[in-house]
Amino acid sequence: MFDLTGMTALVTGASGGIGSSIARALAAQGARLALSGSNAAKLRAFRDELNAEYGQDHVEITCDLSNTQQVEELVPATVDTLGKIDILVNNAGITRDNLAMRMKDEEWSDVIRINLEAAFRLMRAAAKPMMKARFGRIVTITSVVGATGNPGQMNYAAAKAGLTGMTKSLAQELASRGVTANCVAPGFIRTAMTDVLPDAQKEALNARIPMGRMGEGEEIGAAVAFLASREAAYVTGQTLHVNGGMAMLG
């Protein structure tokens, strides 16, 4: 079940904590990956690691998502390199946290450009080859804060909520061609960044989660692998919340 053998996938932010877990999950199911990110050295090392572990000829494509030209070239480069694109995972994102009354214009615009606009451009570019093939899976990583809001993250919450609305619209446009579009919305996930938090802060975070712990990157990867699979053909326009019960959303 959820065998992705013969499928190709583009994953943005692939060398990051959640991104690498998503990439591993797809590779483990047999997909061949185009790993994208802004750090060429990290991407290359991660590609070599995946190739050694899973025996596929994965590739890396460096892309700065704040650069419109590079974003527009990413999907065509993936198709040129892998021969096709079956799965697009919009995972990359940044934060520029600040209270609304102190938020600078560039803190707003940087987050919207990278988290929302770049995802739109990649969705638009991937839609054409996917529609032609009459098959495709677009999975976008949003966040629980896109549904609940969060103090100091007006820009980030707006971008993540925007991704959900974009996904629902695109799902309706592409459904008749066998292309699905869905979101995975993580809650608090354990990463290198959260590992360095003081124990008291970790305990306070865990107290907000009914399961009493932060999620693991592998749990996000598993959700993405399901939505990317052939078996998920009748699931589109949905948001799969993976948050340990922190926000029980319909």
Three-class DSSP labels, 2-35: CCCCCCEEEECCCCCHHHHHHHHHHHHCCCEEEE
- Decide if pLDDT at 195 tops 90: no
d(CA 207, CA 215): 13
Is-above-0.75 flag for pTM? Answer: yes
- Decide if pLDDT at 205 tops 90: no
Mean pLDDT of the chain: 95
Average pLDDT over residues 190-214: 88
**Percent of the chain scoring above 70 in pLDDT:** 100
Q: Tokens for 19, please give them.
A: 């991104």
Positions annotated as catalytic residues are 156
**For the chain, which domains are there?**
8-241 (3.40.50.720)
- Decide if pLDDT at 193 tops 80: no
Looking at residue 194, its pLDDT comes to 78
pLDDT digits (tens, 9 = 90+) for 47-71: 999 999 998 899 999 999 999 999 9
Average pLDDT over residues 191-219: 89
- Decide if pLDDT at 201 tops 90: no
Looking at residue 13, its pLDDT comes to 96
Looking at residue 110, its pLDDT comes to 97
pLDDT digits (tens, 9 = 90+) for 213-242: 999 999 999 999 999 999 999 999 999 999
d(CA 24, CA 12): 13
- Decide if pLDDT at 142 tops 90: yes
17 touches 192 (CB < 8 A): yes
pLDDT digits (tens, 9 = 90+) for 93-130: 999 999 999 999 999 999 999 999 999 999 999 999 99
- Decide if pLDDT at 198 tops 90: no
